[in-house]
A and B are shown apart, each in its own frame.
Chain A
Amino acid sequence: MGLRMKITGSESVDLRETSIVKVVFGADIPHDSNARSTDLGSTVLVEGKILAAVGGEAADDTSKLARWSLVPAENSDCYRNVQIDVVNASQVVRQITVPNAFVVDYTEDFTDETGTGIFKLLIKQKKDKMTTLKFEGGFSGE
């Protein structure tokens, strides 16, 4: 199963299936609601590897993620468009587009036992723009 993430904003980030390990999509709805709540949010967790460039290839885009997580709220660049594709057997199983995503958590983990670092990026859609979030899939691609 191939996972891809594309972030567009002031700079674009493109991470492929060689890098991304895990994507968790979640809709955040209050568990104690008695009827359908209007307080709806959406959180996406992306986990992947921080690869070292070998053989003269360009470095991966993960350092741009680290810089995005540090963009202050005063700067409009803190909101970016994130598109996540789940591709399997020439089918796009899911294509999740989060048009006004902002970072709520970012972690990088390096140890001397693993050859690569690990990043964890937690993003949310701006809550007043929930209707623009696109949740597509089930079409052929590749």
Chain B
Amino acid sequence: MGFTLKVEGPSTIDLGTTIMTGVKFRTDIPLDSNARSTDMGSTVEITGKILTAVDGDPFDATRQLGLWSLVPAEKSDCYRKVTIEVIAASQVIRKYTYPNAFVVDYKEDYGDTEGVGTFRLIIKQKKDKMAQIAVEGGYSV
């Protein structure tokens, strides 16, 4: 099972299946609602590895994620278009598109045993643009 992440903004961030280790999608709805609530949000948690470039490979784009997480709210490029694909057995199981995603948490973790660093990125879709989220899937690559 592999994942790809594409973030489109002033520059494009592309992370492939060698980097990404997990994706969690979540629709946030108040659990105490008695009927369908209008207060709805969507959160994605992405985990992956921070790889070191060897043999002259280009550096991976994870540093760009860190820079994105530091963009102040005053600037329009804090909202970016995020596309995440889950691929298994030559099938696109899911293709999530968040046209106005913003970062709510970004963490990088390094230790002396793993050999690679890990990152955890949590993004949300802008709450007033929830209708623009697209969920596709179930077709061949």
A residues neighboring B (CB under 8 Å) = 41, 50, 52-54, 58-60, 63, 66-67, 69-70, 72-74, 78-79, 102-112, 114-117, 122, 124, 126-128
**Are A59 and B135 in contact, with the CB atoms below 8 A?**
no
With A59-B139, A110-B22, A124-B34 given, name 8 new contacts (CB 8 A).
Answer: A52-B93, A59-B137, A59-B138, A63-B94, A109-B25, A112-B20, A114-B1, A124-B33
- Tally the A-B contacts, defined by beta carbons under 8 Å: 121
Q: Is B38 an interface residue (CB 8 A)?
A: yes
- Residue among B27, B38, B86, B91 with most chain A CB within 10 A: B27
Q: Is B69 an interface residue (CB 8 A)?
A: no
Interface of A is mostly: mixed
Chain B residues with CB under 8 Å of A60's CB are 138
Chain A residues with CB under 8 Å of B89's CB are 52-54
Q: Is B83 an interface residue (CB 8 A)?
A: no
Contacts known (A58-B138, A117-B1); A50 close to B27, Cβ less than 8 A: no
Of all chain B residues, the one with the shortest Cβ separation from A100 is B35
Selected from A59, A70, A117, the residue in CB contact (under 8 A) with B27 is A70
Of all chain B residues, the one with the shortest Cβ separation from A66 is B135
Contacts known (A50-B93, A54-B89, A126-B35); A72 close to B131, Cβ less than 8 A: yes
Q: What is the CA–CA distance of A63 and B94 in the complex, to the nearest angstrom?
A: 7
Contacts known (A110-B1, A117-B1); A72 close to B137, Cβ less than 8 A: no
Chain B residues with CB under 8 Å of A70's CB are 27, 40, 42, 130, 133, 135
Selected from A52, A73, A102, the residue in CB contact (under 8 A) with B88 is A52
